[in-house]
Amino acid sequence: MSKSKSEKKIHRITLIPGDGIGPEVTSAARKVLAATGVLIDWEIVDAGAGAVDKYGSVLPEETLESVRKNKVALKGPITTPIGGGFQSVNVQLRKALDLYANVRPVNSALGITFQHSPIDMVIFRENTEDLYAGMEYEVAPGVAQSLKIITEKASTRIAKAAFEWAQKRERKLVHAVHKANIMKKSDGLFLDSVRKVAANYPDVTYKEIIVDNCAMQMVMHPEQFDVVVLGNLYGDIISDLAAGLVGGLGVVPGANLGDDVAVFESVHGSAPDISGKGIADPVATILSATMMLRHLGEHKAADRIQAALVLLFAERKHLTPDLGGKATTDELVDALIAKIKILR
Ligand code: NAI
């Protein structure tokens, strides 16, 4: 970070545009950030299948170095081949940078929900192990094995991250989600680790819920959830379910946090079905960038973007097709920037 003549901070940030709709939604977010007047010097780097020709790798060392150096990145989604092909770049990136906490706020602040009660939860998904450890084997022809790795260390630190978040923001309740009735050793260790952390936060109520019941409760009574802490696989599935309660993947942001480095990206993937059509919803990435602004201490700019989004959604005139609207990505961004300028 350096200072300009007017003493305004310039933030140096790594940008990984990704593929599919990634370049469309990250470019939209950059325009919105620029409209707030926050100064950002973007270092644009590659990752994914497109990086192989140039660097010989889907996750070049140059990309990792850039994030390690700048400590903050905004990232678009990256496609992962199904079945064969390379291991998910997203999983590799999170492991390489030890981004252990995937934080996904899900709320009805934009007014899109089928529920009567307001929804306001923050999902803490463990990001480095579980069935995503990538330890899969063909044991014999016709028999495959995938190892679910759960450690006390990873379970403890995701629990600490969730309780710290709850305490700092005066949230009252943390739910741990598990299936320890069946996976007594692995989910049992996760639960034991969370319980030990919970004991250090007497002001935060602690509850446990089995994952299948959690899925049903979240659909029927989502208002009962506040902070939710889960392993990697349950966190992935439950956060998409939760996204569906408030307008879908087009509007839910996320952050991957380590002790030293933070990578902000929306929950959604590269959406190959709509890529290149100019209709991707950029709101999830704009909100991820807003989380990034708060991480950088730029709270005023973040407040302005959020207030402008509330106004935009109240009008319902400039929404993209995923929310039943007719606007293109660019039309939504232009309308949002006009509101940001008014809120100046
Ligand atoms: P997806 O999230 O890309 O798409 C699911 C559905 O939601 C599609 O119908 C899509 O059109 C819609 N959608 C997603 N984002 C949208 C947006 N911003 N605006 C409007 N509609 C949107 O999930 P899918 O199809 O399972 O995955 C596609 C690829 O993305 C896969 O290769 C997957 O591995 C990858 N992926 C990457 C992630 C990342 O980079 N963090 C996260 C999730 C998936």
Q: Residue 91 in contact with residue 132, Cβ under 8 Å?
A: yes
Ligand 1 atom index nearest CA of 76: 40
Half-sphere exposure of 116 (CA within 13 A, CB side): 2
According to the model, what pLDDT value does residue 6 have?
57
According to the model, what pLDDT value does residue 3 have?
52
Q: Residue 39 in contact with residue 10, Cβ under 8 Å?
A: yes
Mean pLDDT confidence for 46-74: 94
User: Is-same-fold flag (1-103+247-344; 114-245)?
Assistant: yes
Q: Residue 176 in contact with residue 206, Cβ under 8 Å?
A: yes
55 is catalytic: no
Tell me how far the alpha carbon of residue 218 lies from the centroid of ligand 1, in angstroms. 22
Mean pLDDT confidence for 19-28: 97
Listed range (111-120, 186-195, 313-322, 325-334) with the worst mean pLDDT = 111-120
Answer yes or no: is pLDDT of 4 > 90. no
Between CA 320 and CA 326 the distance in angstroms is 6
Residue 171 CB–ligand 1 contact under 6 Å: no
The domain limits of the chain are 1-103+247-344, 114-245
CA distances 303 to 122, 324, 330, 339, Å, are 18, 26, 22, 12
132 is catalytic: yes
| Closest by Cα among 28, 37, 222 to 117 | 222
What are the tens digits of pLDDT across the range 298-308?
999 999 999 99
236 is catalytic: yes
Residue 322 CB–ligand 1 contact under 6 Å: yes
Residue 77 CB–ligand 1 contact under 6 Å: yes
45: tokens are 């780097």
Answer yes or no: is pLDDT of 344 > 80. no
| Residue with CA nearest ligand 1 atom 1 | 269
* Confidence class for position 117, pLDDT limits 50, 70, 90: confident
According to the model, what pLDDT value does residue 302 have?
98
According to the model, what pLDDT value does residue 69 have?
98
Q: Residue 82 in contact with residue 25, Cβ under 8 Å?
A: no
Q: Which of 270, 326, 328 to mutate to test the pocket of ligand 1 (most atoms within 8 A of CB)?
A: 270
Out of 69, 137, 153, 212, the active site residue is 212
Residue 228 CB–ligand 1 contact under 6 Å: no
| Closest by Cα among 337, 296, 301, 313 to 250 | 313
Mean pLDDT confidence for 337-344: 93
98 is catalytic: no
Place of tokens 């100046």: 344
Q: Domain 1-103+247-344: give its CATH architecture.
A: 3-Layer(aba) Sandwich (3.40)
Tell me how far the alpha carbon of residue 197 lies from the centroid of ligand 1, in angstroms. 34
Answer yes or no: is pLDDT of 110 > 70. yes
N- to C-terminal Cα distance for the chain?
24
Helix (H, G, I), strand (E, B) or coil at 247: coil
Mean pLDDT confidence for 314-336: 96
Between CA 213 and CA 204 the distance in angstroms is 22
Answer yes or no: is pLDDT of 285 > 90. yes
Q: What is the DSSP letter of 88?
A: P
Mean pLDDT confidence for 108-123: 90
Residue 274 CB–ligand 1 contact under 6 Å: yes
pTM of the model: 0.94
What are the tens digits of pLDDT across the range 180-220?
999 999 999 999 999 999 999 999 999 999 999 999 999 99
Mean pLDDT confidence for 259-274: 96
Strand partners, 239: none
Q: What are phi and psi of 175, to 5 degrees?
A: -105, 130
Between CA 232 and CA 11 the distance in angstroms is 31
DSSP letters, 295-337, are HTT-HHHHHHHHHHHHHHHHHTSS--GGGT----HHHHHHHHH
Between CA 337 and CA 344 the distance in angstroms is 11
| Closest by Cα among 242, 291, 240 to 29 | 291
Residue 280 CB–ligand 1 contact under 6 Å: yes
Q: Residue 97 in contact with residue 263, Cβ under 8 Å?
A: yes
Half-sphere exposure of 15 (CA within 13 A, CB side): 20
Place of tokens 């007014």: 111
273: tokens are 């079905």
Task: For Cα atoms 127, 52, 76, give the angle at the middle one, nearest 5 degrees.
Answer: 45
Percent of the chain at pLDDT exceeding 70:
98
Residue 17 CB–ligand 1 contact under 6 Å: no
Q: Residue 48 in contact with residue 91, Cβ under 8 Å?
A: no
Answer yes or no: is pLDDT of 2 > 70. no
Residue 251 CB–ligand 1 contact under 6 Å: no
Mean pLDDT confidence for 30-52: 96
CATH of domain 114-245: 3.40.718.10
Tell me how far the alpha carbon of residue 27 lies from the centroid of ligand 1, in angstroms. 17
Tell me how far the alpha carbon of residue 270 lies from the centroid of ligand 1, in angstroms. 5
| Residue with CA nearest ligand 1 atom 4 | 271
| Residue with CA nearest ligand 1 atom 38 | 269
* Confidence class for position 107, pLDDT limits 50, 70, 90: very high
Q: Length of the chain in residues, anyone?
A: 344
